Structure 1
Amino acid sequence: MIEDWFADAQRAPEQARREWADTGVALLPLGTRFVAVRLAEALVHAAVDTTQPQELAACLTRLLDGPVIFDGRTMGGTYYALMRPRIGSPWKHQAIAPRLGAGTYLGVPRLDRRKPPGTYWIVPPRFEGDLCAPRAVESLIVHAVSTGQETEQ
C-alpha cells in the first residue's frame, strides 16, 4: 500500500497514520526513503507556461513522471518534487531549487488530498516507491531558468 510506504519513512509509522487521520498531513523525515526538491510557484509556472491547475497537473505528470506535492500556504505557493536519495551526488540547482534531505521534514498529504486548500498532491504517487527521476526534475528547472521568467511572477 502506497500510504504504508510513506508512513514507513518514520521510525513510528503509526504517528504518520495518526497525523493523516487528524489533520490530513503527516510530517515525514526526508533523506532515507525519499528527498524533495523545493520548486517555487513562479519557477514551475515558467517551466510549464501555464497557471491553470488542470493543465499544470497534466504538464507536471508528463514532465516529471512522479509525485509532486503543492503547498499553497508557504512562500506564495511551493511545489515539492519527490525523488530518490542520491548519496554523494551533488545537486547543481541548490540556490534556485533546493534538494531537501536528511534533517528536514516535509508535510506529506494523505493520498486522497488532491485539491486545495492547504497541502495536497498535484501529482499523486501511483505505486510504492514512485518517485521523480532526478534528470526530469533538473530538466524542468533548466527549462524554467532558460525562459528568464522564473523570478518575475
Structure 2
Amino acid sequence: MGEITAPVPAPRSNPQAQPPLTGQELLAAACCLAEAAPNPGTVWEAWERYGVALLPLGRHFDALRVPAEQVHDVVGSDEADTVATVLTAWLDGPVLRDFRSSRGPYYVLIAPGADWDGPAERLTTGTYLGVARPGHATLLSRWVVLPPHPGALCNTQYVRTLLAATASLRTVR
C-alpha cells in the first residue's frame, strides 16, 4: 500500500447528506455555473430546452472523472443517498454524475490549475462537461452534491484522500 504524503483531511464533522438548498441558493449556483461559458445566455437556453448545458472546462472549474465503480467501492454502496452523504461529508463541494449508463462516471469539480496528481483523469481547457441545472434532474446528468454556495469547488487533497482509500480497499480485497 502506498503512502499518502499530504496531511490526511478528515471528513466534515457532520457527515449527513447535503441539506436542501433554497430556491435563491439554487439560482445563485446556476448563475455562477452559467458564467463559466463565454455567453451565459446560451447556457440558460440549453437548460430551459434540454435540462443540460455543455459548460467549458478550464475557465471557472476543471473536472476529475472518477469511475462509478471506484466511488461505489470507497462508499461501500451504489445507493444514491448513501453516495451523496459520503461525498458531501468528504468533499464538501460539487459532484455530478453522468447517467447515460448504469456505470456512468462521477465528475468532481475542482479549481482550474489546482494541484492534481491523483488517479482520476483531469478534464480541463478544450473539454466541455454536460451539466444539469442545479435543482433539476435529467436523464443525462444529475447533481450528487450541489455546489454548497456559488463558486464552491472540491479540495483536491480531499479527493486524493478519498481515492487513496479506494486503492487501499482494492488491495485488501
Whether TM-score is above 0.5 comes out as: yes
Report the structure number with the largest CA radius of gyration. Answer: 2
Deviations 1:109-150 (A, max 9, x none): 111124x6321101111211011101111111111111117x
What is the rounded CA distance, in whole Å, between the counterparts of 1:69 and 1:38 in structure 2?
A: 10
CA shift digits 1:34-91 (9 cap, x unpaired)? 010001000001111111111111001001110100112158211001011126x4x3
Q: Which consecutive residues of structure 1, in runs of 5 or more, have no partner in the other structure?
A: none
Deviating beyond 3 angstroms after TM superposition, the runs of 4 or more aligned structure 1 residues are none
SS in 2 for 1:131: coil
Measured in 1, the distance between the counterparts of 2:49 and 2:149 equals: 24
Give the corresponding residue for 1:141: 163
**1:7 alignment partner in structure 2:** 34
Aligned residues of 2:92 and 2:148 also touching (Cα < 8 A) = no
Q: Match for residue 110 of structure 1?
A: 133
2:113 paired residue among 86, 96, 102: 86
1:17 aligns with 2:40: no
1:131 aligned residue: 153
Q: Gaps spanning 5+ residues in structure 2: where?
A: 1-27
Structure 2 SS opposite 1:130: coil
Per the alignment, residue 55 of structure 1 pairs with 82
Q: Percent identity?
A: 37
User: Separation in 1 of the partners of 2:135 and 2:48?
Assistant: 11
Q: 2:72 aligns with which of 45, 56, 60?
A: 45
Distance (Å, rounded) in 2 between the aligned partners of 1:8 and 1:108: 13
Aligned length: 145
Provide the C-alpha distance between the structure 1 equivalents of 2:168 and 2:159, rounded to a whole number of angstroms: 14
3-state SS, counterpart of residue 77 of structure 1: coil
Corresponding residue SS for 2:143: strand
TM-score (norm 2): 0.78
> Which of 137, 144, 166 is equivalent to 1:122?
144
- What is aligned with 1:77? 104
Could you state the TM-score of these two structures normalised by the residue count of structure 1?
0.88
Give the secondary structure class of the aligned counterpart of 1:51: coil
